[in-house]
Structure 1
Amino acid sequence: MYNIDRHILKNGYACLGVQAEIRQKWPQGSLIVDFIENIIEPFLAWQAYYDEFQKVPPWGERSHFPDGILEYYAELLQLSESGLIKDFMTLLARKNNPKGHEFCPCQSGKRLRHCHRELIDNVRKIINWEVVGLDLKQINSFESKK
């Protein structure tokens, strides 16, 4: 039943999205009904639309694998350059909060406290550093296979 265009993986599992995006929509401590409403129902609606019209729904889709992960973080961080996105992800994937005197990963040359500190703090409130680390590991795994 493998069909990557339908977001069905080789093992038959459904690709429900980027790990961090799923965690954002279904935070730790949420009920299973929230998972069904926020993750499963949109996936099934997407599949039903595709079945009916044989095309991607107008609300779109995430790209596959590392591209989809980078898309999610680009939206979250409001960035467009993939190298910068990975630099921000590396900072977000650290267990400890970054220090204000560190240079900002946006390459402005400014210290974090005078640049994107608020953004980093806000994203860390939404997404656990370990989840960012898993997403980053997935990107690096795909890039090393190229």
Structure 2
Amino acid sequence: MHLNDQINEVLNSHNGLVFNSSSNTLEGELFLPDGDSYDVLINLNNYPRIFPTVHEIGGRIPKKMDRHVYPDSGSCCFTTRAKSQILLKTVVKSLLDFIDEILIRYLENNSFYELNKRYYTEEYSHGKLGIIEGYKDILQIDDTIKVAKTLFNVAKSKKLIIHQNCYCDSGRRLRKCLRGKHLNNLRKLYMVDKDILMQDLNSFNEAIDVYLEEQKSKEENIN
């Protein structure tokens, strides 16, 4: 669907929002299903490559990471860039899907926090650790080094080879490992732009340094 059609679809469903073509933004009052509402500014410049940039402009959500808002920019933190790209290519098929399934759920979670001082859904950690957790979630393995190796290999490869050994080091072929689950996970990773993979690899530097030191110590003990 063309972006203009997606914008019109949003305006028809959420009549508290107004589109400003000069700034490429949607702005206004966004109503939640329970009747609550938030004042939001939705910037579409990076969409559909990644999720739109959203600011809550009513002063209701503090600008700090513990409340899932980036302190420097004041924009809402929904998930990692990698996860956003995968979602946009799988389940979030339109701007309306983003607002209904991502933004409204985010705001509902904030409303829950206001009442209960906790979120009702589990969230990734902040910063580099959250990026690592996101990739572990995508690949469904918990070994940080294996995840980093897989990211690097995908970023440098041209296409997915289903007959290669699985990234989990089980010794099984990728297409047979866990009845194809790891193959499906790797297909998702290939949906992420290679420049994002390479940038996110920087988040693994500390873990890689620790791993290399451990390997060095093991070799010294053997010798």
- TM-score of the superposition, structure 2-length normalised? 0.51
Q: Which has the higher strand share?
A: 2
Matched to 2:149, the amino acid is: D
Aligned residues: 144
Range moving further from structure 2, 26-35 or 57-66: 26-35
Range moving further from structure 2, 131-140 or 82-91: 131-140
Matched to 2:112, the amino acid is: Y
| Partner of residue 86, structure 1 | 148
User: Matched residues in 2 for 1:142 and 1:127: separation?
Assistant: 16
Range moving further from structure 2, 29-38 or 124-133: 124-133
Deviations 1:13-51 (A, max 9, x none): 111111122223222882111111222112111211112
User: Matched residues in 2 for 1:142 and 1:107: separation?
Assistant: 19
How far 1:134 sits from its partner (Å)? Answer: 0.8
For residue 105 of structure 2, give the secondary structure of its aligned residue in structure 1: helix
User: Matched residues in 2 for 1:90 and 1:31: separation?
Assistant: 30
| Partner of residue 2, structure 1 | 63
User: Matched residues in 1 for 2:192 and 2:88: separation?
Assistant: 16
Name which structure has the greater RCO, CA cutoff 8 Å, separation 6+.
1
Q: Percent identity?
A: 25
**Inter-CA distance 128–115: structure 2 relative to 1 (3 Å threshold):** closer
Deviations 1:92-139 (A, max 9, x none): 3235124467665434566767768x5564235434454364144134
CA contact (8 A) 2:166 2:182 kept: no
- Structure 2 gap segments, 5+ residues each: 1-61, 207-223
User: Matched residues in 1 for 2:168 and 2:177: separation?
Assistant: 8
Range moving further from structure 2, 25-34 or 57-66: 25-34
**Inter-CA distance 58–20: structure 2 relative to 1 (3 Å threshold):** same
Task: Indicate yes or no: 2:96 matched with 1:33.
Answer: yes
**Inter-CA distance 141–124: structure 2 relative to 1 (3 Å threshold):** closer
- Structure 1 gap segments, 5+ residues each: none
**Inter-CA distance 131–123: structure 2 relative to 1 (3 Å threshold):** farther
Q: Which has the higher helix share?
A: 1
- TM-score of the superposition, structure 1-length normalised? 0.73
For residue 92 of structure 1, give the secondary structure of its aligned residue in structure 2: helix
| Partner of residue 168, structure 2 | 106
